[in-house]
């Protein structure tokens, strides 16, 4: 019985960590792109939001999104390995929470810009993020 519980607990840790690593790749890559090509991203986003109430907030929004993507991506990446090695989910939980807020910001922006296809893509990341949080909850019941 103990072996079964240990195996189940390890499997949950692996699933949590795989979700964390997957999301961290997307988030870190996106934030690095925003840092390397800030000017290009700023131009594209300014045009994308030119006819919206967010038009004047694009530089600030880009900074906030870049920071939250980088921070949550790093927390998820580090948290995934700490979870596998030490069975500690603290960094994963914080990373999942920050990235969920980030995905909500992105979704809001895409809907305001009437980019419904772009908003639909973000839903996939958000669902995976929520599944990561649910897997965290599941580990409390073991």
Closest alpha carbon to 17 in 72, 87, 69 = 87
CA nearest to 134, candidates 95, 105, 102, 93 = 93
Tell me the per-residue pLDDT of 22-72, one tens digit each, with 9 for 90 and over.
999 999 999 999 999 999 999 999 999 999 999 999 999 999 999 999 999
What band does 134 get if pLDDT is binned at 50, 70 and 90?
very high
Residues 6+ apart with CB under 8 A from 51: none
How far is the CA of 61 from the CAs of 12, 16, 54, 58, in angstroms? 35, 29, 9, 5
> Would you list the DSSP string of 99-136?
HHHHHHHHHHHHHHTT-HHHHHHHHHHHHHHHHHHHHH
11, two tokens:
């499997």
**93 pLDDT higher than 90:** yes
**pLDDT at 141 (0 to 100):** 73
């Amino acid at each position: 019985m103990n072996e079964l519980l240990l195996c189940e607990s390890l499997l949950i840790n692996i699933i949590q960590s795989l979700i964390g690593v997957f999301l961290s790749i997307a988030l870190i890559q996106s934030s690095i792109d925003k840092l390397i090509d800030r000017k290009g991203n700023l131009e594209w986003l300014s045009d994308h939001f030119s006819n919206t109430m967010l038009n004047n907030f694009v530089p600030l929004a880009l900074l906030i999104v870049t920071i939250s993507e980088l921070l949550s991506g790093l927390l998820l990446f580090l948290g995934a390995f700490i979870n596998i090695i030490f069975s500690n989910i603290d960094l994963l939980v914080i990373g999942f929470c920050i990235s969920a807020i980030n995905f909500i910001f992105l979704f809001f922006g895409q809907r305001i810009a009437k980019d419904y296809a772009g908003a639909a893509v973000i839903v996939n990341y958000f669902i995976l993020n929520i599944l990561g949080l649910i897997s965290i909850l599941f580990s409390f019941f073991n």
